[in-house]
């Protein structure tokens, strides 16, 4: 017999869940892996949130079938406020997913049982918010339907666009010939200028042994860039360390006369190169230093790592269109628990406003049906 159990931290998960992570990772993203989640929880989420891991397992054997990593902010759970459960994800997350063996023929049923367990959790949650998720995934559809089958009203909402590149067996040069001539000519011209007169070098770090110095150089570049200070600096350093340990770190530092002027953190995992963080010293923007470093990294991951896909992760920034070939979307699902008064009120407030916005006269029909509306 299967049951849903709740665990307060990752360390409490039985070994069967660690095996589930491994099974899940055979066909999935680094952002669904245990090392990613462990660093995210330790160095970011747990600072402001209490964790709540919902696991579906066999009561007799302990076999794990699915895991929903969730969290909530205790300080916000005041008596008058709705009790809100959210995905174990934040601004550092480009993708969220329940952990399960997606090739299992009963994967859809496992989602139903897991969602039912979340809805019936004690004390009950008034709303459950999952994001960012792949809109085109089978799990997205299964989760939304499972919430509705459990009696909740749901709303899906747009999070951000995701640009990515399909290589289809091309070499770097074949790919580079396909980018806009404006970008290609700029990179070639500026690269020649830098190499001739400015002591230009690039260091690519993949191992723990080289990481300490490179991480310091990354920090120096980041502080000299246009970017805001990290909300949780330990998360980035922890991510670099985690990726180095897992063999998927690609940390590139560009130097001019021994001064670090640009840095990029990439993650290469199971044939996908994810461009996670980019920064450059604004004083050197005239050299197109960021584009030159991106081209260098593209060459490495395509010709050396032989990836099948390059993923720009989060956002519809215009410059990404020059480098990438395809776009997809990340969406969220928010479910309002109709078994609680605050859940009903929250659902009426959120979905009722959208019903009025979109000219839907029957608000009750909105509360009983999923709505796919932009926030």
pTM as predicted: 0.91
> Nearest CA to 152 among 337, 332, 334?
337
Q: Is the pLDDT of residue 138 over 50?
A: yes
- Cα 309 from Cα 272, distance rounded (Å): 5
What CATH superfamily classification does 168-307 receive? Gcn5-related N-acetyltransferase (GNAT) (3.40.630.30)
pLDDT mean over 66-94: 90
> 329 near 161, Cβ under 8 Å?
yes
- Identify how many contiguous H helices and E strands the chain contains and give both numbers: 13, 14
pLDDT at 374: 46
What CATH superfamily classification does 2-161+329-372 receive? Gcn5-related N-acetyltransferase (GNAT) (3.40.630.30)
pLDDT at 373: 47
- Cα 149 from Cα 162, distance rounded (Å): 30
pLDDT at 375: 41
Contacts 24+ apart (CB under 8 A), 60-63: 60/1, 62/14, 62/16, 63/16
35 three-class SS: helix
Neighbours of 141 (CB within 10 A): 14
Share of the chain above pLDDT 70, in %: 91
CA max distance for the chain: 71
Q: Is the pLDDT of residue 368 over 80?
A: no
- Cα 191 from Cα 288, distance rounded (Å): 9
> 110 near 153, Cβ under 8 Å?
no
Render pLDDT for 338-362 as a digit per residue (tens, 0 to 9).
Answer: 999 999 888 888 776 665 555 555 5
Render pLDDT for 286-331 as a digit per residue (tens, 0 to 9).
Answer: 999 999 999 999 999 999 999 999 999 999 999 999 999 999 999 9
- The domain spans of the chain are 2-161+329-372, 168-307
Render pLDDT for 47-59 as a digit per residue (tens, 0 to 9).
Answer: 999 999 999 999 9
pLDDT at 31: 94
- Cα 292 from Cα 254, distance rounded (Å): 9
CA dihedral 216, 220, 221, 225 (to 10 degrees): 140
51 three-class SS: strand
> Nearest CA to 166 among 322, 308, 268?
308
Are 2-161+329-372 and 168-307 in the same CATH fold? yes
Percentage helix, strand, coil, to 5, in the chain? 45, 25, 30
């Amino acid at each position: 017999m299967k049951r849903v159990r709740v665990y307060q931290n990752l360390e409490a998960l039985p070994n069967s869940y660690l095996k589930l992570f491994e099974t899940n990772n055979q066909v999935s993203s680094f952002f669904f892996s245990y090392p990613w989640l462990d660093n995210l929880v330790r160095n970011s989420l747990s600072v402001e949130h209490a964790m709540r891991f919902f696991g579906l397992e066999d009561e007799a054997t302990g076999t794990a079938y699915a895991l929903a990593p969730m969290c909530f902010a205790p300080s916000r759970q005041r008596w008058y406020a709705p009790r809100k459960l959210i995905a174990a994800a934040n601004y550092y997350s480009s993708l969220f997913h329940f952990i399960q063996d997606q090739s299992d023929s009963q994967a859809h049923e496992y989602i139903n049982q897991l969602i039912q367990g979340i809805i019936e959790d004690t004390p009950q949650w008034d709303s459950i918010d999952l994001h960012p998720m792949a809109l085109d995934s089978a799990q997205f559809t299964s989760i939304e339907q499972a919430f509705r089958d459990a009696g909740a009203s749901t709303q899906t909402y747009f999070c951000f666009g995701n640009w990515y590149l399909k290589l289809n067996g091309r070499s770097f040069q074949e790919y580079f010939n396909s980018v806009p001539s404006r970008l290609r000519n700029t990179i070639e011209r500026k690269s020649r200028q830098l190499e001739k007169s400015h002591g230009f070098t690039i260091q690519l770090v993949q191992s723990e042994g080289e990481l300490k110095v490179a991480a310091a150089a990354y920090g120096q570049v980041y502080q000299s860039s246009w970017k805001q200070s990290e909300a949780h600096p330990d998360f980035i350093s922890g991510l670099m360390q985690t990726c180095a340990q897992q063999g998927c770190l690609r940390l590139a530092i560009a130097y001019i006369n021994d001064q670090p002027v640009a840095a990029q953190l990439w993650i290469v995992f199971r044939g996908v190169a994810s461009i996670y963080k980019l920064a450059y010293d604004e004083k050197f923007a005239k050299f197109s230093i960021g584009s030159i470093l991106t081209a260098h990294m593209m060459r490495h991951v395509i010709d050396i790592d032989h990836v099948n896909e390059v993923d720009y992760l989060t956002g519809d920034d215009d410059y990404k269109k020059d480098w990438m070939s395809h776009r997809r979307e990340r969406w969220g699902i928010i479910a309002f628990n109709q078994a609680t008064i605050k859940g009903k009120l929250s659902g009426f407030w959120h979905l009722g406003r959208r019903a009025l916005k979109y000219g839907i006269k029957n608000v009750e029909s909105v509360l009983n049906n999923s709505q796919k509306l932009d926030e």
